[in-house]
Structure 1
Amino acid sequence: MDLHSLHKSLVTAFSSSKSKQDEVRSLLTKLKIALTEHNLLVPSASSSSSSSDLPLAREVLEIGAFYSVRIGDIAAFDRYISLLTPFYDASLSPSSNYEPLLGLRLLRLLSSNQISAFHTLIETLPTDLVNSSKYLQHPVSLERWLMEGSYSKVWRLSRETPPQDEYRFFVDLLMDMIRNEIASCEEKAYDSLALHDAATLLFFENLDQVLGFAKTRGWQVNPKTQVVSFASLNTAAAETKIPKKATIASNLTFAKELESIV
């Protein structure tokens, strides 16, 4: 197959609800090889093919980025975004995938707690684009609520229909991050907590979900009383605390001895 035939097959396979992941992956691999052979994987003035093929190359990489999110491959998503950057900087016709992928990129930073990188990227974008795009307002709203500590708003938005299906993946990762932050606070604030209350605080919809989460955190759950205990965790933390008073006293004694020597 030539470049254009492969591209057509990829678009059809990616858009079809009946397509298989292996089929899309295979086509992406073949197309990346073909783009490299045609000097199109990275746009440049020395590209041997006509400029009309650059939008085709860009769409291949955009599909690759979306596909990476669909299969949960964050590293591959980052690679595709990196390859796409020079295409968006080039003087090409606007891409309908630009804003959705930009929103996904912001969500990826947010879900991995890269807040500084999130703000740096926002600052490079035109203000009117950020304010008018539903794809960008989605992660911007999430970040604002995170900074406010309004986790219930983040949870509500995560249940609503996102601007694009791929957004759900990073929103779920963001909720996992929030749950672990809340869980860390619970472990320090309580010795025990009713299982139902723990589920509510962690935004779980049923007890099976909170039981699975409790197992990953090493919480002790009493099935009879429906109470989760953090006492063992707090005890272990207390045992590893640095003896502050003893350390201070030792340092003062050392300082006095040093002063007498001097």
Structure 2
Amino acid sequence: MSSSKLHTLHKELVRAFASQPSDLKTSGRLLAELKVVLIETGLIFPQGEYSPRDLVIAREILEIGAFWSIRTRDVPSFDRYFSQLQTFYNDLRQVLCCPHPSYSTILPPSEREFPIRGLNLIRLLIQNRIADFHTTLESLPLPADELVANPFIRHPVNLERWLMEGSYSKVWNAREEAPAEEYKFFVDSLMGTIRNEIASCEEAAYESLPIKDAATLLFFKSLSELLEFAKERGWQVNLTEGVITFSQKGEEKLEIPKEKLIANNLIYARELEQIV
């Protein structure tokens, strides 16, 4: 009964998610139902003998779930689906049937595998888990030359290199070169982190900036986006003069005891003269 329900709901899920645009609400409801069925049939973490057809269906459900999570901007949900997919992607031996081959070797390759692996790599970049990024990259089941050739892996590899170089404009432009629509969500999240880094540098380096220059440096295309960001950072915006003042910078300057520093320097100078 559960197997029959699995096949029926799976077909409905594929149809809902493949529609243009994707029916995310229906897909979410079906994924919740299918997760219960996968648990009941033992397919969510398979251990033992299963038909290849059921294993392929289970893998595809989890893959759609991973993409659905990104399209609904639910990163924790993506983490869970990616974790559940490891049984199907990696060469893990069956716990109860050790002599049998791993699931990844008896199933046909999935065209969604490397798009999802690439998304996971970008997720690690966003979370600033650089060591985990490199460990995960090195563990991928591809030779080094094929990794570079794979567009879904090349994209996060380039992002990581540009981040280390500080080439933020290249990271921004990479959004339009994303190999899949879901990648744009993570690149947007990455730009949020980059903007905060740039903003901190601006506050330390300048007292104020023209609004136009600030928008360019922060990769904002509209004034409303910049004003919202400025409000979050506590910046003062003068639309009449077209200038943004970084209040943090001003506060830091007021705290510097200039007269005391000058007096101390004079004392040190006199003491040096006496020593000489």
Q: TM-score range by the shorter chain?
A: 0.7 to 0.9
Task: Tell me the alpha carbon deviations over residues 39-60 of structure 1, each in whole angstroms, 9 at most, x when there is no partner.
Answer: 1011212x5x423211110000
Q: Which residue of 1 aligns with 2:248?
A: 233
Counterpart in the other structure of 2:115: 100
Identity %: 52
Q: Secondary structure at the match of 1:166?
A: helix
Q: 1:233 and 1:27, CA in 2 relative to 1: closer, same or farther beyond 3 A?
A: same
Who is 1:62 aligned against? 63
Give the aligned partner of residue 6 of structure 1: 9
- 1:114-138 deviation line (CA, Å, top 9, x unaligned): 2121111111123133111001111
Query: In structure 2, what residue type is equivalent to 1:64?
Result: G
Q: State the shift of 1:22 in Å.
A: 2.1
Deviates more, 1:58-67 or 1:196-205: 196-205
Are 2:172 and 1:150 aligned?
no
Q: CA deviation at 1:236?
A: 4.0
Amino acid at match of 2:244: V
Change (3 A) 1:16 1:187: same
Shift of 1:237: 4.6
Matched, 1:75 2:61: no
Partner of 2:132: 117
Q: CA deviation at 1:17?
A: 1.7
Task: Check the 8 A contact 2:207/2:250 in 1, yes or no.
Answer: no
Greater gyration radius: 2
Q: TM-score, normalised by structure 1?
A: 0.86
- Structure 2: gaps of 5 or more residues: 91-102, 257-276
- Counterparts in 2 of 1:222 and 1:102: CA distance versus 1, 3 Å: same
1:258 aligned partner: none
In the alignment, which residue of structure 2 is the partner of 1:183? Answer: 199
Structure 1 SS opposite 2:43:
coil
Shift of 1:110: 1.2
Task: Say if 2:210 and 2:244, in contact at 8 Å, map to a contact too.
Answer: yes
Q: Alignment RMSD, CA only?
A: 2.0
State the aligned residue count. Answer: 239
The match for 1:133 among 141, 146, 150 is 150
What TM-score, normalized by structure 2, do the two folds share?
A: 0.82
Tell whether 2:206 aligns with 1:203. Answer: no
2:209 is paired with a residue of what secondary structure?
Answer: strand
Distance 1:218 1:87 in 2: 48
How many Å separate the matches in 2 of 1:211 and 1:39? 52
1: CA distance between counterparts of 2:6 and 2:179?
31
**Which moves more between the two structures, 84-93 or 183-192?**
84-93
Could you tell me which residue of structure 2 aligns to residue 250 of structure 1? none
How far did residue 18 of structure 1 move?
A: 4.8
| Letter paired with 2:128 | N
In structure 1, runs of 5+ residues without a counterpart are 242-262
Shift of 1:169: 0.3
Matched, 1:217 2:236: no
Query: Which residue of 1 is the match for residue 36 of structure 2?
Result: 33
Instruction: Give the letter aligned to residue 160 of structure 2.
Output: E
- Aligned equivalents of 2:146, 2:177: Cα separation in 1: 21
What is the CA-CA distance between 1:188 and the residue it aligns to?
0.6
Per-residue Cα deviation, 1:131-179 (whole angstroms, up to 9, x for no partner): 1100111111111111111111111222x24211111100000111111
Cα distance in structure 2, aligned partners of 1:86 and 1:173:
28
2:265 is aligned to: none
